[in-house]
Structure formats: C-alpha cells, structure tokens
Amino acid sequence: MKKRKAILLRRGIKSSEGEFIYELEKLYELSPKLSSMILVTAKECLLRETSLREGQIEVTVIGIEERSGNVMEKLEKRKVRLTLDNGLEDIEALREFGRIELRRIKLQRISEESLEQEGV
C-alpha cells in the first residue's frame, strides 16, 4: 500500500498541476493549501472552455449580487456568454417582424442570458 501511494504521489508531482504547485511552494514559499487554492483559481480563470458557437461572444460583467455605488475595481466580475446572432431564428424574426423588433428580441435574449449566468 505504501508503494502504491508513493507511485500516485510521484505521478501527481510529475503532472503539470503538480509542477505548478511545487513551484508555488518552493519558489514563493507558500503553504500547500494556498498553493492548491491558487491552482484552482488559475484553472477557473485561465482554462475556460473556449469553444464559442458562431454568433456568441464572451464578455466580463458585474455579478448580479453587487450593489450600485461601489468602486468598479471592488465589484465582483464574471464572464458570461452572450448570443448576438442566433442564425436562422434571427433571420426569420427579421423577415416576419422587421428590423426594430429584431433589435428588441436580441436585447431581450442578451439580457436573459446575462441574468441566467448571474451577471448584469
């Protein structure tokens, strides 16, 4: 059992995540717990799923729970995916309702998507 744990531990250290934690602990003298938390945060911020559908964008917005009147730098921010062009549905809406109504549909869709992802 000890040998198996040692093998698993070595595999963890040899991975890119293990190497990152090792560098944080040795070079910056951080605790193992803090190093692990930095790894989790880095993965959330840097290794997001990057495959956007055609017509989508990813933007940074303010979290929905934030109150107005605070300094912008102190507000919690989050990334949300918004659909600017919904393809055939937008073409049908343009054909059926016109340009002005299509703009309303797009604004409503963007607002709903942002709220669903807890951003404003």
Q: Where are the domains of the chain?
A: 2-46, 56-116
Cα dihedral 29, 31, 32, 34, rounded to 10, equals -110
Q: What is the pLDDT of residue 108?
A: 97
| For residue 74, pLDDT beyond 60 | yes
C-alpha–C-alpha distance, residues 82 and 96, integer Å: 23
Residues 13 and 17: their CA atoms lie apart, in Å, by: 8
Amino acid at 42: A
d(Cα 75, Cα 42) in Å, to the nearest integer? 19
Confidence of residue 49 (pLDDT cuts 50, 70, 90): low
- Taking residues 56-65, report their average pLDDT: 91
> Above 60 in pLDDT, residue 1?
yes
For 113, residues 6+ apart whose C-beta sits below 8 A from its C-beta are 80, 81, 82, 83
In angstroms, the CA 116 to CA 110 distance is 10
Q: What mean pLDDT value characterizes the chain? A: 86
Q: Which helix (H) or strand (E) covers residue 58, if one does? A: strand 56-62
